[in-house]
Amino acid sequence: MNDSFIQINGISKHFGNVKAVDDVSFQIKEGEFFSLLGPSGCGKTTLLRLLAGFEYPTSGNLLLDGSDITALPPDKRPTNMVFQNYAIFPHINVEKNVQFGLRKLGLTNDEIIKRVKDVLSLVKLEGYEERYSSQLSGGQRQRVALARALVRQPKVLLLDEPLGALDKKLRDEMQLELRTLQKEIGITFVFVTHDQQEAISMSDRVAVMSEGKIQQMSSPNELYKNPQNIFVSDFIGETNFLKAKTESKDGEYINVNIEDLGSFKIKNNLNISENASDVICSVRPETMMIDKEKSDWDICLEGKIKQTSYLGEMTKFYVETKEIEKIITVSSQYFDNQSFQDGKCFISINLNDISLLNKK
Amino acid sequence: MEQKNNTLLIYTLLYFAFLYIPVLFLPIFSFNDANYMSFPLSGFTTEHYEEMWAKTNLHKALWASIKVGVVASVVSTTIALFAAKAFARYKFRGQNISYGAIMIPFLIPEIILAVAILVIWLSLGFKLGLVPVTLGHILFCTPFAMLILIARIEGFDFSLEEASRDLGENAWGTFYRVSLPLYLPGIIASLLLSFIISFDEFVLAFFLTGSDATLPMYMWAQMRFIQKLPHVLALGAVIIVFTTFIVLLAFWLRNLGQGKEKAEFGIKIHE
């Protein structure tokens, strides 16, 4: 497998004064399911459109499988795209939509028929050949868009929020199916989404983008467990931010003074300096424990429940404490909204679950 | 409630009566056996139609109008198609001003347009005839064509064109296989309407035709003689039928493009 199958070298794209993509460099591996994740306006779609050839970079270059594609128009690139709204041609039927991109590939009629048949069976759309876009459901349209792109056997499949228009149930199904499909055919997928859960559940690697820059690029687990900065920590999942000040370093650890809780020794993954700088401690709601009694965890605070939200598989508690300025969010699968009648509770934190971040 | 519905019905009937009764007199009198348009009708005849058919000058004028109409509608629809696409697809500096500039001939009194073209044409040393009439009609039809085409192209999903590029078609292939078939109902409507506008146009033709009369010019010339009125009535009746047919055809074609039996206009890949 080629580790630098797609090379993005110093790519910038400016629209007037807006830097949609700002000097971005990274590489995507062959056969990888790679996601570009970020809020709207972060540049992820622009980056995808640069890969597709719908936009040309202001500076930088793009290499695909060793050859420079920076200046190639979309029809000359070995990439194909699944559009956000699917863009199924409404004036031709499903079969003709799928055949559309085969005209210029110099295939024989038999090859065309076979390819169309195979790809329709791959996306489970046999029997729909004669239908028009208006006669298909959202999920079926998505499959047509997928088939139409895959039938060309591209080196890279680009997907622009393809699941955004589907309802929750169907989206979950399609996530699983897309993932399985990608492993089966082994084509490199570059997937754009604003849905962090989607990116995390499907991808081999995720690049989190904000304001035209990559904030962090790593495996979903790394992203969730070791966020590199406040933006990533906040964007991926849910978390609590506690204010802290650094004290003295101790090998891989550093002593920090957290709000009014006192001083604790915490793993210093980001190698933060020790000279009394302001830092942030991030603690995920599900790593904390809420209970009616005191625990023997590293930190245990008495609190008062201000609000709860019952989500079925778990319940979120919004807890006020004396020691921490902000309301703390804790989730529990054991207790629910009816467990704490008087609102009095104890929340516990393990030091291992705290990630230390630089304050911006 | 009942009362209200009746009021609306009466209003609707009056409205249609106002629109169509004057027009209906034409066919009625065209079959009347008299030289004057007056009641009572004196008898049924088809002789006015025979008379009309026998006029070679009329054939000449009809042919002139068709030539002018075809050229004017094709050229103005082509210009309008490119312009409409630019307006609907892109945001550019001076967009509102250029839109206004294209629409102005729509608002300028026709007689002023006609005089202006006449003065320029003659001062350039050209002869009057069907060429300046056609140019005038192109100018006059383009705003109409623009209005129709912008309505069709606005709201068009341009990611369809991107999808075509992505699937290996170049700009021309994309236009031919995707854009054109999808714009086609608008293009046909624009062609038909531009043709009808040109076909009916009188003022520009009056100033610019010289000796080659168009059909409205021919009719106008004939009406100066009372004995020639009946065959002009017959001609008017034919034109009404023809226009109605064109409009119905336009609607039928539109539905063909949007209904379930979608015509495929793209290149057939295999079969």
CB-CB under 8 Å, A152 with B270:
no
Of A183, A217, A234, the one marking the end of a domain is A234
Q: Do both A248 and A106 map to the same domain?
A: no
- Indicate if A83 and A225 belong to the same structural domain: yes
Average pLDDT over residues A264-268: 88
Contact B162 A112 (CB under 8 A): no
Structure tokens at A31: 């056969």
Whether B33 has a pLDDT exceeding 80, the answer reads no
Indicate the residue among A181, A214, A234 that finishes a domain.
A234
Residue B99 domain boundaries: 56-258
Q: How far is A13 from chain B (nearest CA, A)?
A: 19
B91 in reach of chain A (CB within 8 A): no
**Is the residue at B233 inside a domain?**
yes
The CB-side HSE value for B217 (13 A sphere, CA atoms) comes to 24
Residue A32 and residue A138 in one domain: yes
Residues A223, A243 within the same domain = no
Is residue A22 included in any domain, yes or no? Answer: yes
Q: What is the DSSP letter of A41?
A: T
Q: Is residue B67 part of a domain?
A: yes
Tell me whether residue B212 is in a domain. yes
Is the pLDDT at B259 greater than 50? The verdict is: no
Query: Which chain B residues contact residue A85 at CB under 8 A?
Result: 157, 159
Q: State how far residue A6 is from chain B, nearest Cα, in angstroms.
A: 18
pLDDT at B265 over 60: no
- A124 has a pLDDT exceeding 60: yes
- Please indicate, yes or no, whether residues A58 and A95 belong to a single structural domain of this protein: yes
**Do the chains contact at B167 and A132, CB–CB below 8 Å?**
no
Residue A9: pLDDT band by 50, 70, 90 thresholds?
very high
Q: Which of B166, B266, B269 sits opposite A81 (nearest CB)?
A: B166
Q: Are residues A118 and A181 in the same domain?
A: yes
The answer on pLDDT for B164 being more than 50 is: yes
pLDDT at B264: 37
- Which residues from A are below 8 Å from B263, CB to CB? 91
Q: What is the CATH number of the domain that holds B121?
A: 1.10.3720.10
- pLDDT band per the 50, 70, 90 thresholds, residue A240: very high
Do A242 and A345 belong together in one domain?
yes
Q: Of the candidates A173, A200, A234, which is a domain's last residue?
A: A234
In this predicted structure, what is the pLDDT of residue B78?
94
Instruction: Give pTM, 2 decimals.
Output: 0.80
Q: Looking at the structure, do residues A305 and A346 belong to the same domain, yes or no? A: yes
Judgement on whether residues A208 and A309 belong to the same structural domain of the protein:
no
Q: Which of the listed ranges A146-155, A165-174, B145-154 does the model predict with the highest average pLDDT?
A: A146-155
Stretch B6-28: mean pLDDT: 87
Same domain, A228 and A248: no
Question: Is residue B29, in this structure, part of any structural domain at all?
Answer: no
Q: How far apart are CA A151 and CA A162, in angstroms?
A: 17
Do the domain assignments include residue A1? no
Which H or E run contains A258?
strand A253-258
Across the interface, whether the CB atoms of B165 and A103 are under 8 A apart is answered no
Specify the number of domains making up chain A. Answer: 2
Query: Residue A132: which of B169, B257, B262 has the nearest Cβ?
Result: B262
pLDDT at residue B270 in the model: 32
The per-residue pLDDT for range A274-329, each reduced to its tens digit, is 776 889 999 999 999 999 999 999 999 999 999 999 998 899 999 999 989 899 99
Residue B124 placed within a domain: yes
The answer to the question of residue B50 being in a domain is: no
* CATH code of the domain containing A101: 3.40.50.300
Question: Which residue range is the domain that position A288 belongs to?
Answer: 238-358
**Which domain CATH number covers A288?**
2.40.50.140
Residue in the block written with tokens 């030539």:
B67
Residue B224, in any domain of the structure:
yes
A329, A226: one domain: no
Domain count, chain B: 1
**A150 contact residues in B (CB cutoff 8 A):** none
Q: Is residue A107's pLDDT more than 80?
A: yes
- pLDDT at position B233, please? 82
Bridge partners (DSSP) of residue A36 are: A192, A207
Angle between helices B229-258 and B180-200 (to 10 degrees): 170
The reply to whether A147 falls in a domain is yes
Q: How many beta-carbon pairs under 8 angstroms link A with B?
A: 87
CB contact under 8 A, A101 and B170: no
pLDDT, tens digit, for every residue of B197-237?
Answer: 898 888 888 888 877 888 888 888 888 877 777 788 888 88
A29: helix, coil or strand?
A: coil
Least confident window among A154-158, A296-300, B4-8, B252-256: B252-256
What pLDDT does B268 receive? 32
Place A221 in a pLDDT band, splitting at 50, 70 and 90.
very high
The pLDDT of residue B271:
28
Residue with the bigger pLDDT between A19 and B35: it is A19
Hey, is the C-beta of B176 within 8 angstroms of any chain A C-beta?
Answer: no
The answer to whether residue B215 sits within a structural domain is yes
- Amino acid B54 reads A
Is B89 part of the contact surface with chain A (CB cutoff 8 Å)?
A: no
Asked if A149 and A47 sit in the same domain, the reply is: yes
ipTM reported for the complex, 2 dp: 0.83
